[in-house]
């Protein structure tokens, strides 16, 4: 006897009328038209069943702190970093835990069941590290939280940061972070990339660096990151986050850079909501968009995910844990408007992001964890268009969140199947 049978589902790859059979928290069969006895059954009525959303780039130690101790007046990255510096001494572990848990509730309700969060290690108390390790333990039954040791003020620039970073890893933080463009010189930035990649190689850890997050066309840290990845045999385990300078780089140089990144099997995370608001701030007109070159990276064979980065914090006053909003913005900024490109934007907040995190058991194949989302949409493009309601969210075969259907413009006017959904 199965625990759960989902019938009549549309899958993100276009398959229709699919059944998903679940036993002991795992997917045991995926087949068209399958009908087997189950303790619980769900008729998806042709709607989309997707693997959960994955956010490959977030800052959970800062989330939901908007207005503390003041708001970012200029809206720039640098004022955001300065503001975060003002907030840090005022933080308590209890307040970080409370805000992070609230965010995780939002996330689950939006079908977002895996998050990679950077955590600032520059405070020698490691207050935020301890708080988010506690949150990671508490949310584990329903959400995979992966932590990156992030030296916000620069691992070389900030006194004691390297020691703090190593202590954070000793405490159980999963991934080595960095911020080479915030070091004092280009040479120091390159030295920080080398140092941090060597540390990750010694400890058998993944790397995820904020890298070239500026409009400087001559910022070159992603080149160093790709080179060190290959030198140390870290292929497939290293991520360059933001890479906004690539937007402004010389086209000839990029034609040389893209194959280097592909050879290193570098992952890339663009953060469309943040990149479009923080970059181009020194421009008059025309103003640069400042998001990295997503279609060109994908065409070169590089795995690209979209991250949320910030929700209601010193850098960004909006956001709601909705990865479809992130995909929607990414699609617009990158002008990825073909049917195939729009589906790539859906992949950027699901399967591609799972590759960044190195998740195991992710997907809708036999043997995968029974984690999936029933969306009030018929396909990934419609899901992005509508920022579709997450009707039901399943974790290990159990429903962990449900949201009533909305009147949503699901079908074109005059179509007979546009009327109400009678989902249980």
Nearer to Fe ion, 313 or 379 (CB): 313
Residue 352 main-chain phi, psi, to 5 deg: -65, -40
Nearer to Fe ion, 174 or 309 (CB): 309
Closest-by-Cβ residue to Fe ion is 309
Give the closest residue to 272 by CA, choosing from 298, 246, 245, 305: 305
Restricted to residues 112-131, the positions that interact with Fe ion (CB under 5 A) are none
Task: Check 213, 223, 228, 325 and give the catalytic one.
Answer: 213
**What is the nearest approach in angstroms of Fe ion to the Cβ of residue 383?**
25
Based on the shown chain and the rule CB under 5 A, indicate whether residue 61 belongs to the binding site for Fe ion: no
Contact segment (CB under 5 A) with Fe ion among 125-133, 139-147, 255-263, 308-316 equals: 308-316
Based on the shown chain and the rule CB under 5 A, indicate whether residue 183 belongs to the binding site for Fe ion: no
Q: Exactly one of 309, 313, 371, 379 binds Fe ion (CB under 5 A); which one?
A: 309
Nearer to Fe ion, 18 or 304 (CB): 304
Size of the site for Fe ion (CB under 5 A): 1
Contact segment (CB under 5 A) with Fe ion among 288-296, 305-313, 320-328, 367-375 equals: 305-313
Nearer to Fe ion, 117 or 389 (CB): 117
**What is the nearest approach in angstroms of Fe ion to the Cβ of residue 63?**
11
**What is the nearest approach in angstroms of Fe ion to the Cβ of residue 234?**
21
**What is the nearest approach in angstroms of Fe ion to the Cβ of residue 117?**
9
Measured distance between the N- and C-terminal CA atoms of the chain, rounded to whole angstroms: 21
In the annotation, is 213 catalytic? yes
Contact segment (CB under 5 A) with Fe ion among 20-28, 158-166, 246-254, 309-317 equals: 309-317
Nearer to Fe ion, 50 or 146 (CB): 146
Restricted to residues 23-42, the positions that interact with Fe ion (CB under 5 A) are none
Instruction: Assess contact for 408 and 399: CB atoms under 8 A.
Output: no
Site string for Fe ion, 255-294 (x = CB under 5 A): ----------------------------------------
Contact segment (CB under 5 A) with Fe ion among 151-159, 290-298, 307-315, 325-333 equals: 307-315
Based on the shown chain and the rule CB under 5 A, indicate whether residue 347 belongs to the binding site for Fe ion: no
* Residue 276 burial (CB count, 10 A): 18
Based on the shown chain and the rule CB under 5 A, indicate whether residue 208 belongs to the binding site for Fe ion: no
Active centre residues (catalytic) = 213
Q: Can you give the binding site for Fe ion, defined by CB under 5 A?
A: 309
């Amino acid at each position: 006897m199965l625990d759960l049978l989902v019938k009549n589902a549309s899958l993100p790859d276009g398959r229709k009328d699919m059944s998903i059979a679940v036993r002991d928290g795992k997917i045991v069969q995926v087949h068209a038209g399958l009908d087997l006895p189950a303790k619980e059954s769900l008729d998806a009525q042709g709607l989309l069943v997707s693997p959960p959303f994955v956010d490959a780039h977030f800052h959970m130690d800062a989330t939901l702190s908007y207005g503390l101790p003041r708001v970012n007046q200029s809206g720039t990255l640098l004022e955001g970093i300065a503001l975060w510096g003002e907030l840090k001494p005022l933080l308590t572990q209890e307040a970080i835990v409370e805000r992070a848990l609230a965010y995780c509730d939002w996330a689950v309700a939006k079908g977002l069941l895996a998050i990679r969060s950077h955590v600032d290690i520059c405070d020698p108390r490691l207050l935020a590290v301890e708080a988010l390790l506690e949150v990671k333990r508490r949310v584990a039954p329903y959400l995979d939280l992966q932590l990156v040791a992030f030296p916000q003020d620069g691992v070389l620039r900030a006194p004691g940061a390297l020691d703090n970073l190593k202590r954070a890893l000793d405490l159980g933080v999963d991934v080595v972070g960095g911020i080479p463009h915030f070091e004092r010189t280009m040479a120091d930035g390159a030295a920080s990339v080398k140092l941090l990649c060597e540390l990750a190689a010694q400890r058998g850890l993944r790397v995820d660096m904020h890298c070239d997050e500026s409009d400087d066309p001559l910022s070159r840290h992603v080149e160093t990151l790709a080179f060190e990845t290959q030198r140390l045999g870290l292929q497939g385990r290293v991520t360059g986050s933001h890479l906004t300078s690539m937007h402004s780089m010389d086209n000839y140089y990029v034609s040389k850079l893209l194959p280097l990144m592909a050879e290193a099997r570098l992952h890339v995370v663009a953060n469309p909501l943040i990149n479009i608001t923080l970059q181009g701030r020194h421009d008059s007109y025309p103003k640069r968009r400042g998001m990295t070159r997503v279609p060109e990276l994908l065409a070169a064979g590089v795995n690209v995910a979209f991250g949320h980065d910030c929700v209601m914090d010193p850098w960004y006053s909006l956001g709601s844990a909705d990865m479809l909003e992130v995909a929607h913005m990414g699609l617009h900024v990158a002008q990825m408007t073909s049917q195939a490109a729009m589906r790539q934007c859906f992949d950027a907040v699901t399967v591609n992001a799972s590759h960044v995190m190195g998740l195991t058991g992710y997907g809708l194949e036999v043997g995968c964890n029974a984690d999936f989302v029933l969306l009030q949409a018929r396909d990934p493009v419609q899901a992005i268009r509508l920022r579709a309601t997450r009707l039901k969210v399943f974790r290990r075969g159990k429903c962990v969140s449900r949201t009533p259907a909305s009147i949503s413009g699901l079908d074109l006017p005059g179509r007979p199947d546009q009327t109400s959904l009678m989902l249980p």
